[in-house]
Chains A and B, each alone.
Chain A
Amino acid sequence: MIDDDTPLLSVRRLSKRYGAHIGCADVSFDLYPGEVMGIVGESGSGKSTLLNCMAGHLAPDQGEVIFDTAVEGPRDTLLMSEPERRMLARTDWAFVHQNARDGLRMGVSAGGNVGERLMAVGARHYGDIRGTATDWLTRVEIDAGRIDDRPTTFSGGMQQRLQIARNLVTGPRLVFMDEPTGGLDVSVQARLLDMIRSLVRDMGLSAIIVTHDLAVVRLLADRLMVMKSGHVVEDGLTDQVLDDPQHQYTQLLVSSILQV
């Protein structure tokens, strides 16, 4: 690839405060095409704030989020107009919520949920939309026969897989995931992780995954950022950080994993 030198996403000195309280402070990193970045830390460490600031759901107080757009090259998404940012959010970006109910339309059938992004970017052929939806349901291991069922009739794991299908259907280049396996039981988690991993590899996606589960980042992430109290305390290759943690907080985090 020619573009390998240009980062897909560059974050520079991103900060967000909630009054006197720090959400996240002075975060900088580069994400290259095809790379999966994990952000770990305990509850309240600012990882979700950081993710929401990057994805445009929250307005950061300062900093830059430079995205390598398909047409115009690198642009600071924070300076974009709202229509541009929303367009980006439904084409090149995807956001997978922790709770599938936040990311799905519960009153709309599975097929309609997957088709919504297609229709939002101008698809107007019912047969094609349905064909793509069927294809995607199969790819996320949902029986195609359930295309007309509402997500309310789906199990938690299926809802999460449906949310992923709905997000990936327009072929985004960057996926934000907020605790994608949160609240699922272990065997369902394992299947979901397996599926996400193969989708990321097949589609060459870049992803930023926020989680408190070190096993998730061990499986999915190439690189890792450890956050505490709004600051990045350590970053590096996943295996390197997890096998040889330098910062005392990372050491604590790694040693807190239950061994069975």
Chain B
Amino acid sequence: MTDQAYNFAYLDEQTKRMIRRAILKGLAIPGYQVPFASREMPMPYGWGTGGVQVSAAVMTADDTFKVIDQGADDTTNAVSIRKFFEATAQVATTTKTSDASVIQTRHRIPEEGLTEGQILVYQVPIPEPLRFLEPRESETRKMHSLEEYGLMHVKLYEDISRHGHIATSYAYPVRVEGRYVMDPSPIPKFDNPKLGGCPAIQLFGAGREQRIYALPPYTDVVSLDFEDHPFEASKADHPCGLCGAQDSYLDEVITDDAGARMFVCSDTDYCTGRQAAGHKGKDAA
């Protein structure tokens, strides 16, 4: 170890052990927020310190690592975290979803279906779904332990009374295996149906809030709703401007000062893959 500046994947082995224990507990109790001793990471809070620690704890030298930020492989957050693990763990990195064994994500689930053996690591800013309804952490923990989730529906009720429909469009609360209500991190609700029955392991790390939670493969995950206002996975009603995909989640990009705009896949890997396969959207050059 003396010839190296850092231990493998930056964190020391005792820290990784502690995080792995939290992950195992989280997997054993799907949706339950496990407290862990979050470390200072060489990046600011809000940049994925929780996700990075979880990735570091599960990573092996044989892994292939992918980072996406809002679906994209080429934004600052994604590039810097990818470089971080290239430098500290010398792992192979990729942008292809199907080639990766560990995928760290900020606010998206890849369009391409995940497979068994893959691990999806989410960066979570606020793990507590009840936070803005009940500010006392002591009280929300009690509500989780006693399964008192009526308040979560109060939030959805307020949405409908104010907007006529459930206007929550990201961080849409879900119920895991009929037990814990969980914040799926700020993924668009378009991605919510992909949480349940997923063959990959899903791990959630919140660094500042010091919480880890997890969904084992093929977990039952249900988005909360009302009988007369059922959950709807929504997206912009357009095809992708570059690859023409009808079924992917889209970013709206303003292209000039006159209000012109285009809709493109937020998942860059999915979009480039489709373009390489010959699909073309109306805005493709």
Partner of B226, one of A82, A111, A116, A124: A124
**Chain B positions within 8 Å of A130 at CB level:** 161
**Chain B positions within 8 Å of A86 at CB level:** 146, 148
**Chain A positions within 8 Å of B153 at CB level:** 119, 124
Contact residues of A between 65 and 120, Cβ < 8 Å to B: 82-83, 86, 105, 108-109, 111-112, 115-120
**Chain A positions within 8 Å of B158 at CB level:** 108-109, 112
Please report the total number of B residues contacting A with Cβ < 8 Å: 16
Contact residues of A between 97 and 149, Cβ < 8 Å to B: 105, 108-109, 111-112, 115-121, 124-127, 129-130, 147-148
Query: B44 near A: Cβ within 8 Å?
Result: no
A112 B161 Cβ-Cβ under 8 A: yes
User: Which partner residue on chain A sits nearest B229 by CB separation?
Assistant: A126
User: Which partner residue on chain A sits nearest B160 by CB separation?
Assistant: A126
Q: Hey, what's the 0/1 contact readout for B152-178 against A, CB within 8 Å counting as 1?
A: 011001101110000000000000000
Main secondary structure on chain A at its contact with chain B? helix
**Chain B positions within 8 Å of A118 at CB level:** 150
**Chain B positions within 8 Å of A108 at CB level:** 154, 158
- Shortest beta-carbon distance, A110 to chain B, in Å? 10
Query: B92 near A: Cβ within 8 Å?
Result: no
Partner of B154, one of A83, A112, A121, A127: A112
B162 A105 Cβ-Cβ under 8 A: no
Contact A117/B150 with A124-B226, A125-B227, A148-B161 known, Cβ cut-off 8 Å: yes
B151 A126 Cβ-Cβ under 8 A: no
**Chain A positions within 8 Å of B226 at CB level:** 124-126
Q: What CA separation (Å) do A88 and B167 show in the bound complex?
A: 33
Query: B228 near A: Cβ within 8 Å?
Result: yes
Partner of A115, one of B154, B227, B228: B154
**Chain A positions within 8 Å of B146 at CB level:** 82-83, 86
Partner of A116, one of B154, B161, B228: B154
Q: Hey, what's the 0/1 contact readout for B202-240 against A, CB within 8 Å counting as 1?
A: 000000000000000000000000111100000000000
**Chain A positions within 8 Å of B229 at CB level:** 126
**Chain B positions within 8 Å of A126 at CB level:** 157, 160, 226-229
**Chain B positions within 8 Å of A116 at CB level:** 150-151, 154
**Chain A positions within 8 Å of B160 at CB level:** 126
A112 B228 Cβ-Cβ under 8 A: no
Q: What CA separation (Å) do A114 and B154 show in the bound complex?
A: 10
- Shortest beta-carbon distance, A67 to chain B, in Å? 19
Contact A111/B227 with A86-B146, A116-B151 known, Cβ cut-off 8 Å: no
- Shortest beta-carbon distance, A246 to chain B, in Å? 45
Q: What CA separation (Å) do A115 and B151 show in the bound complex?
A: 10
Q: What CA separation (Å) do A198 and B105 show in the bound complex?
A: 58
A111 B161 Cβ-Cβ under 8 A: yes
Q: What CA separation (Å) do A259 and B255 show in the bound complex?
A: 78
**Chain A positions within 8 Å of B227 at CB level:** 124-126
User: Which partner residue on chain B sits nearest A111 by CB separation?
Assistant: B161
**Chain A positions within 8 Å of B162 at CB level:** 109, 148
- Shortest beta-carbon distance, B151 to chain A, in Å? 7
**Chain B positions within 8 Å of A125 at CB level:** 226-228
User: Which partner residue on chain A sits nearest B226 by CB separation?
Assistant: A126
Q: What CA separation (Å) do A115 and B160 show in the bound complex?
A: 13
User: Which partner residue on chain B sits nearest A115 by CB separation?
Assistant: B157
**Chain A positions within 8 Å of B157 at CB level:** 111-112, 115, 119, 126, 129
Q: What CA separation (Å) do A251 and B19 show in the bound complex?
A: 68
User: Which partner residue on chain B sits nearest A120 by CB separation?
Assistant: B150
Q: What CA separation (Å) do A82 and B141 show in the bound complex?
A: 14
B148 A120 Cβ-Cβ under 8 A: yes
Partner of B150, one of A109, A119, A127, A147: A119
**Chain A positions within 8 Å of B133 at CB level:** 105
User: Which partner residue on chain B sits nearest A86 by CB separation?
Assistant: B146
Q: What CA separation (Å) do A105 and B160 show in the bound complex?
A: 17
- Shortest beta-carbon distance, A118 to chain B, in Å? 8
A147 B161 Cβ-Cβ under 8 A: yes
Q: What CA separation (Å) do A148 and B160 show in the bound complex?
A: 10
**Chain B positions within 8 Å of A147 at CB level:** 161
- Shortest beta-carbon distance, B156 to chain A, in Å? 8
User: Which partner residue on chain B sits nearest A147 by CB separation?
Assistant: B161
A119 B161 Cβ-Cβ under 8 A: no
B161 A127 Cβ-Cβ under 8 A: no
Please provide the 7 A-B residue pairs with the shortest distance between their CB atoms, ordered closest to farther: A120-B150, A119-B150, A119-B153, A126-B226, A125-B227, A83-B146, A112-B154
17 A-B pairs with C-beta separation under 8 A = A86-B146, A108-B154, A111-B157, A115-B154, A116-B154, A119-B150, A119-B151, A119-B154, A119-B157, A120-B150, A120-B151, A124-B226, A124-B227, A125-B227, A125-B228, A126-B228, A126-B229
Residues of B at the A interface (CB closer than 8 Å) are: 133, 146, 148, 150-151, 153-154, 157-158, 160-162, 226-229
Residues of A at the B interface (CB closer than 8 Å) are: 82-83, 86, 105, 108-109, 111-112, 115-121, 124-127, 129-130, 147-148
Known: A83-B146, A120-B148, A148-B162. 8 other contacts (CB 8 A): A86-B146, A108-B158, A115-B154, A115-B157, A116-B150, A124-B153, A126-B157, A130-B161
